[in-house]
Amino acid sequence: MSCLSLFLFAGCGGPSYDMAYEEAGRISSFRAVPVEHTGKAAAFAQDLCVVTSDIMDREVDMSQAAAAGLFDLNNREVLYAKNVHDRLYPASLTKVMTALVALENGSLDQVLTATSAVNITESGAQLCGLKSGDTMTLDQALHILLMYSANDVAMMIAENIGGSVDGFVEMMNEEAARLGATNTHFTNPHGLSDEEHYTTVYDLYLIFNEAIRYETFSEIIHMTTYQTTYYDRNGREKPITCNSTNQYFSGKYSAPESVTVIGGKTGTTSAAKSCLILLSRDAGGAPYISVILKAETGDALYAQMSDLLEEIRK
């Protein structure tokens, strides 16, 4: 992972910082003010980007997506908004909230144990192959959840952190309400389609904005590959290698010049189509969140996201 000179921002109004990277310093590449722990983030900031209607006076091609938004975090400004309050399926962008709730309520060294809940049979569902009795730490699970988007890992996290999947989903909805994501309702921790499982571009901005305040989350979404070993019920090793599903990291697609994609989360189902949320920065290091929901195809998703990111340079 490359070293980054980044920032810390609280909500959309956090200050930006310029400083040299020091290998031995307490300031990480994902945090611009020193803290004494990597646990729970500070209280949620109230300075947020606010948008009540479409903002589409920019030359952005979003013809093949149902909704999209671009949020300038430092200036608390919405640069682009198309249907940002429309309720849509989020697919695996759901896992941003799953990770957030897990980080808030668990510890990274906590050992999780899989049960039969991980036996997802839906056709096409992304799985890492967990079996009942398998164990791994929450830290391992979060890497596999966010990078590989494994739905069975989402179920394991939910059961172990929430006491039950239903209990965890209730925690997800409580967190959404706390963040002001009032057009969001979750029915599961993975994002496989359900008529009552929905969110909006704006609510995803709120959720993602909170999640990136955790150093662990920010580090994971920036990784391109991850190798680890977990264990089956008999203690036998089960090695796994995960590559990020973010196609900006694979080299298949490129961000506009002078825009750096820090990381994000992908999501794809037949109902949600292609979805993506990103944290990016401009040449000066200023942070932006961009979201696209329900793009017609993967190629259209990345083409339109790159077009949206072009607005950062203007």
Residue 115 corresponds to which tokens in the numbers above? Answer: 């049960």
Catalytic residue among 5, 28, 82, 149: 149
What are the backbone angles phi and psi of residue 282, rounded to the nearest 5°? -90, -175
Query: Distance between CA atoms of 204 and 127, rounded to whole angstroms?
Result: 23
Catalytic residue among 95, 265, 273, 294: 95
Catalytic residue among 2, 16, 82, 92: 92
Query: Distance between CA atoms of 313 and 144, rounded to whole angstroms?
Result: 33
**Exposure letters 117-153 (e unless 16+ CB within 10 A, then b):** bbebeeeeebbbebeeebbbbbebbbbbbbbbbbbbb
Residues 6+ apart with CB under 8 A from 167: none
Is there a catalytic annotation at residue 95? yes
CA distances from 106 to 83, 138, 141, 194, 276 (A): 35, 8, 12, 27, 26
Say what angle helices 201-211 and 94-105 make with each other, to 10 degrees: 30
Residues labelled catalytic? 92, 95, 149
